[in-house]
């Protein structure tokens, strides 16, 4: 085991890195963040912030010399950088696992190889591939193979002509063409696996999206049966074992005609797992630290149901795209069992995740209504203030 006060490294300086830093520091570790943004929200609270690109060899060498183990905040960190670090110290998740998850084509191929259900797809590397695509894949969604997230790098296409136009619009980069399916709903399972092979799965989250971005998550998933939840957990465990995964892993599913289809893998803590900070004995970020350091995993037991709601940069703007400034948080803070997380990002942009809040209680369905009303009340409060200002 790697015990405190050892030094841990994290590649990535966003909100996921920020809460990894906090979890590690709470356990007594020092943390070094490597991120190119001098004002990154994780770097601001870390013990040390190395401001450099993820593939900067001098920065990586410094990290290797200083840290006892290294993890990553998100899957877009170059796998080659993780492989370099892995020659010198423990790196979890490993570069091989991250390489699978950061490329949709590699991910689909892996899922197909291990026999996990997934949406029908075709690899699109050239315009010729679109012409050869199975007509049954239309209407479909064309997604860039790398670096797409929150609906970015995705285009809905109804036919081959539209797919060709979209492929060119996306820069003629390698893509995946997926058949557009009619979904019952979407769920995700967040789990952790340590170096000894112990696996702990959190309760299934039911996820609701708006414009390709997660809007809110409800846990336990109200629409999911016990059998569906157990099946999702079983698939998640199988993926973690077959990938020899160590760390916190998220498996996103489509539910179609009552059946589970894996949508994406995220080799890290996940937006839909933020509820674990308030509703579970051990948060997804503490599990990431435990797995990285060779410790036994913590309990994933829930003491409350929860609804997590994202707060996007849109809250900083009015309907005419004029920026108001910092929202009035008072309406949220009036709710007794609501906890607010403001990430401290300096610049608000539409669609940018600026924070979230979690409401806990007994009935997940009632919590959804309370959470949505609470967020809506912020807009009403802003309108009232504007009227008072004339």
Domains of the chain (ranges; CATH) run: 7-91 (3.40.50.20), 120-179 (3.30.1490.20), 185-388 (3.30.470.20)
Closest by CA position to 360, among listed 296, 292, 308, 323: 308
Q: Is the pLDDT of residue 263 over 60?
A: yes
> Is there a contact between 178 and 137 (Cβ–Cβ < 8 Å)?
yes
pLDDT on residue 147: 74
Distance CA 102, CA 58 (A): 24
- Mean pLDDT over each residue of the chain, to the nearest integer: 93
Distance CA 43, CA 309 (A): 25
Q: Where are the beta strands (DSSP E) in the chain?
A: 7-11, 30-34, 48-50, 69-72, 121-124, 140-144, 154-157, 175-179, 185-193, 199-201, 205-210, 213-219, 247-256, 259-266, 305-312, 338-342, 353-361
> Is there a contact between 208 and 221 (Cβ–Cβ < 8 Å)?
no
Question: Predicted confidence band at 326 (pLDDT cuts at 50, 70, 90)?
Answer: confident
pLDDT tens for residues 183-230? 999 999 999 999 999 999 999 999 999 988 999 999 999 999 999 999
State whether residue 255 is helix, strand or coil: strand
Distance CA 195, CA 135 (A): 44
pLDDT on residue 389: 47
Edge-to-edge strands, sheet with 7-11: 48-50, 30-34, 7-11, 69-72
Distance CA 347, CA 140 (A): 34
DSSP string, 7-48: EEEEE--SHHHHHHHHHHHHTT-EEEEE-S-TT-TTTTTSSE
Q: Partners of 217 in the beta sheet?
A: 207, 308
Q: Is the pLDDT of residue 385 over 70?
A: no
State whether residue 350 is helix, strand or coil: coil
pLDDT tens for residues 88-102? 999 999 999 999 999
pLDDT on residue 211: 86
Question: Predicted confidence band at 388 (pLDDT cuts at 50, 70, 90)?
Answer: very low
pLDDT on residue 150: 62
> Is there a contact between 248 and 191 (Cβ–Cβ < 8 Å)?
yes
Distance CA 253, CA 23 (A): 27
pLDDT tens for residues 70-121? 999 999 899 999 999 999 999 999 999 999 999 999 999 999 999 999 999 9
Distance CA 60, CA 57 (A): 5
pLDDT on residue 142: 95
pLDDT on residue 338: 96
Question: Predicted confidence band at 322 (pLDDT cuts at 50, 70, 90)?
Answer: low
How many other C-beta atoms lie within 10 A of the C-beta of residue 88?
A: 14
The half-sphere exposure of 293 on its side-chain side, counting CA atoms within 13 A, is 30
Question: Predicted confidence band at 319 (pLDDT cuts at 50, 70, 90)?
Answer: low
Extract long-range pairs of 162-169: CB within 8 Å, 24+ residues apart: 163/124, 163/130, 163/133, 163/138, 164/127, 164/130, 166/142, 167/124, 167/127, 167/130, 167/142, 168/127
DSSP 317: B
User: How many angstroms from the chain centroid is the CA of residue 150?
Assistant: 9
Question: Predicted confidence band at 364 (pLDDT cuts at 50, 70, 90)?
Answer: very high
């Amino acid at each position: 085991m790697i015990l405190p006060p050892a030094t841990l490294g994290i590649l990535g300086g966003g909100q996921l890195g920020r809460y990894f830093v906090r979890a590690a520091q709470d356990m007594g570790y020092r943390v070094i963040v490597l991120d190119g943004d001098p004002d990154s929200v994780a770097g601001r609270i870390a013990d040390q912030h190395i401001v450099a690109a993820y593939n900067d060899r001098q920065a990586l060498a410094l990290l290797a010399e200083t840290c006892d183990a290294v993890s990553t905040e998100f899957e877009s960190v170059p796998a080659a950088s993780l492989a370099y670090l892995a020659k010198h110290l423990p790196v979890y998740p490993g570069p091989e696992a991250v390489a699978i998850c950061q490329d949709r084509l590699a991910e689909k191929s892996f899922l197909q190889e291990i026999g996990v259900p997934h949406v029908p797809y075709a690899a699109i590397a050239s315009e010729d591939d679109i012409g050869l695509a199975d007509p049954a894949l239309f209407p479909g969604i064309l997604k860039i193979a790398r670096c797409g997230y929150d609906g970015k790098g995705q285009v809905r296409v109804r036919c081959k002509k539209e797919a060709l136009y979209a492929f060119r619009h996306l820069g003629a980069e390698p893509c995946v063409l997926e058949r557009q399916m009619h979904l019952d709903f979407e769920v995700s399972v967040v789990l952790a696996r340590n170096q000894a092979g112990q696996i702990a799965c959190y309760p299934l989250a039911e996820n609701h999206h708006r414009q390709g971005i997660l809007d809110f998550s409800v846990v336990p998933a109200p629409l999911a049966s016990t059998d569906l939840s157990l099946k999702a957990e079983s698939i998640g465990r199988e993926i973690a074992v077959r990938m020899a995964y160590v760390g916190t892993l998220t498996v996103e599913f489509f539910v179609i005609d009552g059946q589970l289809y894996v949508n994406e893998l995220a080799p890290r803590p996940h937006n839909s797992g933020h509820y674990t900070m308030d509703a579970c004995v051990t948060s997804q970020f503490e599990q990431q630290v435990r797995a990285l350091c060779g410790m036994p995993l913590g309990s994933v037991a829930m003491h409350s149901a929860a609804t997590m709601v994202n707060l996007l940069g849109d809250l900083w703007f009015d309907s005419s795209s004029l920026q108001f400034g910092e929202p009035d948080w008072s309406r949220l803070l009036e709710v007794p069992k609501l906890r607010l997380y403001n990430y401290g990002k300096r610049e608000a942009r539409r669609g940018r995740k600026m924070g979230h809040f979690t409401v806990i209680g007994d009935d997940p369905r009632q919590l959804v209504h309370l959470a949505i009303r609470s967020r809506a009340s912020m807009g009403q409060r802003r309108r009232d203030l504007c009227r008072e200002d004339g």
